[in-house]
Structure 1
Amino acid sequence: MNSLLQQLQPYPFARLREAMQGLEAPAGMTPVPLHIGEPKHATPKVVTDALAASLSELAAYPLTAGLPELRRACADWLRRRYDGLSLDADTEILPVLGSREALFAFIQTVLDPVAGEEKPVVISPNPFYQIYEGATLLGGGEIYFADCPAPKFNPDWRSIGEDVWRRTKAVVVCSPNNPSGSVLQLEDWREIFELQDRYGFVIASDECYSEIYFDGNKPIGCLQAAAELGRSNKGLVMFTSLSKRSNVPGLRSGFVAGDAALLKDFLLYRTYHGSAMSLPVQRASIAAWNDEQHVIENRRLYQEKFAKVIPILQQKFQVKTPDASFYVWLKIPDGDDLAFARMLWQQAAIQVLPGRFLARDGRHGNPGQGYVRIALVADVETCVKAAKTIVALYQGGEA
């Protein structure tokens, strides 16, 4: 077996299961799973109708580059969403099987370790989505973390030394951020672009939560930021997905967009990798990207949940609505996120994810410790009831 597999750490949910072994929820209580970011809103009819209407196309092999109609639908969506952003649908857009597999594959295509030389570096925010780390390690690289401290929870790029930047081949950006929901502003992007100009790394921008935002404050995307700052998309690739936007995590559909030269090589890799999207899924994806009404309703439901849940939690905790995403990044005043998660499970069958499982130890300890991630993916009533229970059970007093 590939010895690099031994470097991989257990996934956060596996660590949670292990931490909960032997602990039972109260008898008769139905588990309330708020620990995993799996959308629970109804799948849009426009998507299921398109999928059902094209099932006969399962008899055909799809092309890895996808249907021209799908790439055009993605380009049209980018133009509508990002203030006229214009990309070439033939060379700057590539359909993928969700952002997760694309991020995993792309990072490995960027790395080029050479025997006897220092390992190439991928810089990741911390806390982080564990795919970034796994892809780096299996690609023969070294992962380096930029802690995301309160109150903004944006990566502290300036804490990274010259010796690390010199070896850096890729920087992963996650905005809106998982788990904090923070969003990079134009000046934050300017800072990253200046570092890119100095050190020549590729930017991989994970933007899968971009359509869940509040008060009309649309998160700016990396390609939009580059355009507004008068830059090309050289060395820049964004990753997005229908999973959160359209409530279809099982469809496994998204796309990447950006630097045509990088995507040309990425397409070659994917052709060998067997990553072509089935034609019915492509047809359903076209319908999803072309329809915005279901996204507006989806966003309204999340807005309603946050509007009701946050005031309840504020009775005992210092917490605010995130810039975007469907996560509450809740600070536990006594700092013991794992004990808090265990207490909620044992007393109320509520499942939340300890923040320590989403991060690695950095210069100042584990930046996820002392927080829990709560995914408001259940219906409004369930989320509100869970928030009231959390407040009633917490005995630590107001933060």
Structure 2
Amino acid sequence: MFPERFSNLPAYAFPRLRALLDVHEAGGPVRHMSIGEPKHPFPAWISDIIAEHAADFGRYPPNEGTPELRGAIAGWVSRRFGVDLAPDTQIMSVNGTREALYNAGMALCPETKGGARPAVLMPNPFYQVYMISAISVGAEPVFVPATAESGHLPDFGAVAEDVLARTVLVYICSPANPQGVVADEAYWEALIALAERHDFQIMADECYSEIYRDTPPPGILSVAQRVGAHPERVVTFHSLSKRSSLPGLRSGFVAGGPESIKRMKQLRAYSGAPIPLPLQAASAALWDDEAHVAQNRALYQAKYDLADRIFGTVPGYMPPQAGMFLWLPVEDGEAATLRLWKETGVRVLPGEYLSKDTASGNPGTGYIRVAIVAPHDETEAGLTLIRDCLYGASG
């Protein structure tokens, strides 16, 4: 009755976490550090813009985004990455990046490649939507290790030639969730060259690009432009959830070549839910403003320094380059998560819940992911409890 391809899916990370922890009492006041839900204040003027446009809740919004919103996005991409996109043909607004990352597979994955089942490559650990997008279209999800040995980024060039020959899409997140590492220009160049050689598209999840320690992460669009890549080679995804601390706004965009965006627009016309017009007006104002982004980033930079101070002497601690997570080494992520909960009330996520079991093991087993999204004092208290519980008070 139900599609067989969905029958053996692992439980999603957060229901799995609830099943692990919620049968036990918390060992202290509950501190939520498991989910990347930004807690910093968003600009107060957003509420005024939504109120000013409230009458537009009575109108159907355009699926692809208003001209004003797409123009604001194009302006931001030009300022941030030095790439000029055509707002009408290369940009589409979406309800956050998860929707677009899923629908990219639906719109862009062919049924076969060279007469064989198509392959979709993704890092391991990975954002779970990459896998379900591949499975939904009958492609084979191929999990490429993103471990300490590979610099916590997947080495797609090490994938077997016969798999690369049938690869159609590659999902990659930079800055990476959960490890907080950044793909530099050399990494992007190598991946683009591999894609040109094997004729696949790169799905670049760059939703954390505006939260970084020192240097702005390079964008794949700018590298693709510089090396003269095929105009359809790269599709990129961005969101206001992290950049502007507005996860509930559900507003982001996808950008790429005209044919890719045309196909995604066509699918969205049938199945997508457009962003309400008042929220589109607010989104346009957010993409036009950088002051609140700089303020938000400074809050994270202070917490990077805090994490370095608290965990700096912990063997294997990796200072995050960007993003909003710590990827902390432990002997067993699930056991450490349960111990933290029972002894301190701190709630984190086992690394294995973000990873796929493979023949060589689960690359997330020896880690926990810790979200540093709460205000500074709350984050300091939670990180101190984690250190004292798992590593000893001295770190």
TM bin, normalised by shorter chain, reads: over 0.9
Q: How does 1:243-254 map to 2 (within 5 A)?
A: 243-254=241-252
1:156 correspondence with 2:152: no
Q: Partner of 1:368 in structure 2?
A: 364
> Secondary structure of the residue that 2:104 maps to in structure 1?
helix
Q: Percent identity, please.
A: 39
Q: Which runs of 5+ in 2 are unaligned?
A: none
d(CA) in 1 for partners of 2:114, 2:164: 19
Q: Partner of 2:90 in structure 1?
A: 92
* 73-82 vs 5-14, greater mean Cα deviation: 5-14
| 1:232 shift after superposition | 4.5
* 46-55 vs 251-260, greater mean Cα deviation: 46-55
Summarize the Cα distance change of 1:349–1:209 in structure 2 as closer, same or farther, 3 Å threshold: same
> Secondary structure of the residue that 2:130 maps to in structure 1?
helix
* 6-15 vs 160-169, greater mean Cα deviation: 6-15
Structure 1 letter corresponding to 2:174: S
d(CA) in 1 for partners of 2:184, 2:304: 22
Summarize the Cα distance change of 1:395–1:202 in structure 2 as closer, same or farther, 3 Å threshold: closer
Structure 1 letter corresponding to 2:333: D
> Secondary structure of the residue that 1:91 maps to in structure 2?
helix
d(CA) in 2 for partners of 1:395, 1:312: 11
Q: Partner of 1:391 in structure 2?
A: 387
Q: Is the CA contact 1:147–1:362 (under 8 Å) kept in the aligned structure 2?
A: no
d(CA) in 2 for partners of 1:395, 1:257: 43
d(CA) in 2 for partners of 1:37, 1:269: 29
Q: Partner of 1:380 in structure 2?
A: 376
> Secondary structure of the residue that 2:169 maps to in structure 1?
strand
Of 355, 362, 365, which residue of structure 1 is paired with 2:351? 355
1:34 correspondence with 2:33: yes
| 1:113 shift after superposition | 2.5
| 1:277 shift after superposition | 1.5
Summarize the Cα distance change of 1:169–1:31 in structure 2 as closer, same or farther, 3 Å threshold: same
Q: Partner of 2:306 in structure 1?
A: 308
d(CA) in 1 for partners of 2:276, 2:390: 48
> Secondary structure of the residue that 2:357 maps to in structure 1?
coil
| 1:52 shift after superposition | 1.6
Summarize the Cα distance change of 1:149–1:397 in structure 2 as closer, same or farther, 3 Å threshold: farther
Q: Partner of 1:264 in structure 2?
A: 262
Q: Is the CA contact 1:208–1:241 (under 8 Å) kept in the aligned structure 2?
A: yes
d(CA) in 2 for partners of 1:391, 1:248: 30
Deviating beyond 4 angstroms after TM superposition, the runs of 4 or more aligned structure 1 residues are: 114-117, 395-399
| 1:4 shift after superposition | 3.0
Q: Is the CA contact 1:146–1:157 (under 8 Å) kept in the aligned structure 2?
A: yes
Q: Partner of 2:233 in structure 1?
A: 235
Structure 2 letter corresponding to 1:44: P
Q: Which runs of 5+ in 1 are unaligned?
A: none
Q: How does 1:75-114 map to 2 (within 5 A)?
A: 75-82=74-81, 84-113=82-111
d(CA) in 2 for partners of 1:79, 1:395: 45
* 339-348 vs 4-13, greater mean Cα deviation: 4-13
Of 329, 332, 336, which residue of structure 2 is paired with 1:331? 329
| 1:120 shift after superposition | 1.2
User: What are the Cα deviations for residues 180-234 of structure 1, in whole angstroms up to 9, with x where unaligned?
Assistant: 011111111111111111111111100000000012x000111011122233532
| 1:21 shift after superposition | 4.4
d(CA) in 1 for partners of 2:171, 2:208: 15
d(CA) in 2 for partners of 1:170, 1:232: 14
Q: How many residue pairs end up in the alignment?
A: 393
Q: Is the CA contact 1:316–1:397 (under 8 Å) kept in the aligned structure 2?
A: no
Q: Partner of 1:122 in structure 2?
A: 120
| 1:20 shift after superposition | 2.0
TM-score of the two chains, using structure 1 as the length reference: 0.94
Of 314, 318, 328, which residue of structure 2 is paired with 1:320? 318
Q: Partner of 1:342 in structure 2?
A: 338
Q: Is the CA contact 1:315–1:391 (under 8 Å) kept in the aligned structure 2?
A: no
Q: Is the CA contact 1:8–1:137 (under 8 Å) kept in the aligned structure 2?
A: no
> Secondary structure of the residue that 1:90 maps to in structure 2?
helix
> Secondary structure of the residue that 1:87 maps to in structure 2?
coil
Summarize the Cα distance change of 1:66–1:116 in structure 2 as closer, same or farther, 3 Å threshold: closer
| 1:115 shift after superposition | 12
Q: Is the CA contact 1:7–1:137 (under 8 Å) kept in the aligned structure 2?
A: no
* 219-228 vs 243-252, greater mean Cα deviation: 219-228
Summarize the Cα distance change of 1:288–1:32 in structure 2 as closer, same or farther, 3 Å threshold: same
> Secondary structure of the residue that 2:281 maps to in structure 1?
helix
- Over the aligned positions, Cα root-mean-square deviation in angstroms equals 1.9
d(CA) in 2 for partners of 1:38, 1:370: 24
